[in-house]
Structure formats: C-alpha cells, structure tokens
Amino acid sequence: MRSAVDLRALRDDYREGRNVIHAYNARAGLETNAPEAIEIAYDLQAGQYIRNHASEPDYYNAYTDEQAALLNTHFPDCESLLDAGCGELTNTALLFGKLEAVPSLFAFDLSWSRVHVGLNHFRSMVDAGCVGRTRAFVGEMSGIPLPDNSIDVVMTSHALEPNHGRETELLGELLRVSRRGLLLFEPSYELGDDAQRSNMEQHGYVRRLPDHCEQLGADVLEHHFTDVNYNPLNRTSVTVVRKPEAAITNAPAFVDPVSHTAMEFDDVDRVYFSPEQGVVYPTLRGIPILRASASVLATGFRDPA
C-alpha cells in the first residue's frame, strides 16, 4: 500500500498540521484506515508523546495510577504484561513503579521510530532491573510474534483506537496471546455522547469492543469511562476482559508472527530466523522488527556454504 502514496507529501502534510491518516486515505482512495497509514502517521509523530508527558505530568501520573489500580485489582500477581501498541513506552514507564508485582514486560508498536525514541526514554525512567525484564520490538497487532496463552495480561492504551472494522481480528489476536485477560483503555462509541460519537466516526475509531470480546468467548467484567480523562471528544473507557482458563500455557518467547512457530536468533547477523517459514526478520539498533512485511525470504539461511 505504501507505493500508493508519496511519503514526502505526507511529511509535508504532517509539518503543516494536517491529519496524515486522512491525507493517506484520500490519496489511496480508502474509506477505512489502512495499517500503513497508521504506521506512517505514528512514525512521523515520534517523540511527541514524550513531550506531552513532560508538559502535563500530573495528568499522566493520575492516568497511570488508575491503570495500576485496575491491573492490581483484576489481575493480581501478574507475572508478564504485554503493552500492545506501546507507542513511546511513556505510560509504561510510569506504570511499572505502581504495580504490586513487577512483571516481565513485552512491548511493541507498529512504528520503529516510536519504539526507538521510547526505549531511550524508558531506560531513563526505570531502574536497571525493569530494563532487564523488558523486551521491546516492532510488531503488528494482527500478527503478534508470541505464542498462544503466553502473557498473563495484555494491555492497550488508545492503540486499538484507529482500527474500526478490524475489531474482531485484532481482539482475537490479543486474546490468543493472553493467559488471563485484557485491560483495554480505549475510547467508547457506545458510552460517548453525540460529540464523541461524531468524532470517532470522523476518524474511523473502534466500536463495540465489549460485544466483540464476548463474541470471541471472553467475559467482560467492567466497561465504563475512566475517572481520569483528557480530551472530552475522545474520553477513555476501560474494558476489563477475563479469558477462559487455558488447558495449556506457553512460555513467552518470540515466535514467527505468521506461523507462530519457534525462531532462532543468529548472533552474527543479528536476525531472527524462522525455519518453518524460511524467512529472517532483521533488527535495527537492537530492536527486532517482527512483522510479516519486514521478513526476508532466506530458505538457505541455515544451509552449509
């Protein structure tokens, strides 16, 4: 899809304050938000969330206080947490110090630039022990490179937001990876007033998340607006989702995002090799890029010279 647009023009759109996703969709003739449009928009914004946190620390502290309280209440003794669509790990850095149990953290975003700047910020905010328990990577919510039932809790914060029309697909993938359930901090179309619903329609934001979760076989324990909110046109709701107990759980480790089979890391070439798929996934500045679109066909990677 990226060939359908001129990236230079989109960069100009961003510099001039226009909505990059809307501009992409208009140029590509799309009526819904393409993943490529979302990636480009977020990548161009890299660093903005860090600046937002620095300018409004009280709001973000209160927001992550509420997140931590819900996580501690509904998923006590959480051993592993996945921040799906982590952005610049700004909320995660604040959240880590507020949890009763400090979990192993996996975090991914669609945008390499956001993960890159976010990791630098994250390392400056948390202690060495937290850094050592964190694995950040580039990935897609439609193909998470982790095994079934491998992460205690999967969490999102306005990451599902721009994906109207893909709710069942993406929630199904989040539920596949989780052991215990989901904690979703996303705008609510159903709870919102006319102004919020109009705004969400304009931007192609998700709808009916609780209904989709229940249709996928999960139980919705809570669904309501959070106490802490910033944008009256895009108020955050929390959806607490409990997954039926799985008969078999797996250890969290990177797997091929397409086949969900084991991968091998090559220390020399700094790539992840999928024997099942015959492809390699690169790393850039130490960040694994575990997206199907980033794979390189390399069936002879392990063959003798």
pLDDT in tens, 159-218: 999 999 999 999 999 999 999 999 999 999 999 999 999 999 999 999 999 999 999 999
Query: Residue 29 is encoded by which pair of tokens?
Result: 């003739």
Strands 104-109 and 134-138: parallel
Give the pLDDT of residue 99: 87
Q: What is the pLDDT of residue 228?
A: 92
Regions of the chain with pLDDT less than 50 = 1-2
What pLDDT does 103 receive? 84
CB-based contact 156:185 (threshold 8 Å):
yes
User: For the chain, which domains are there?
Assistant: 2-44 (no CATH), 56-242 (3.40.50.150), 254-305 (2.20.25.10)
pLDDT of residue 230: 87
Q: Which amino acid is at 163?
A: N
Residues 6+ apart with CB under 8 A from 174: 84, 141, 144, 154, 156, 182
| Residue 141 neighbours by CB distance under 10 Å | 23
- Look up the pTM and report it: 0.93
Q: In terms of Cα–Cα distance, which of 177, 164, 163, 158 is closest to 239?
A: 158
Helix (H, G, I), strand (E, B) or coil at 303: coil
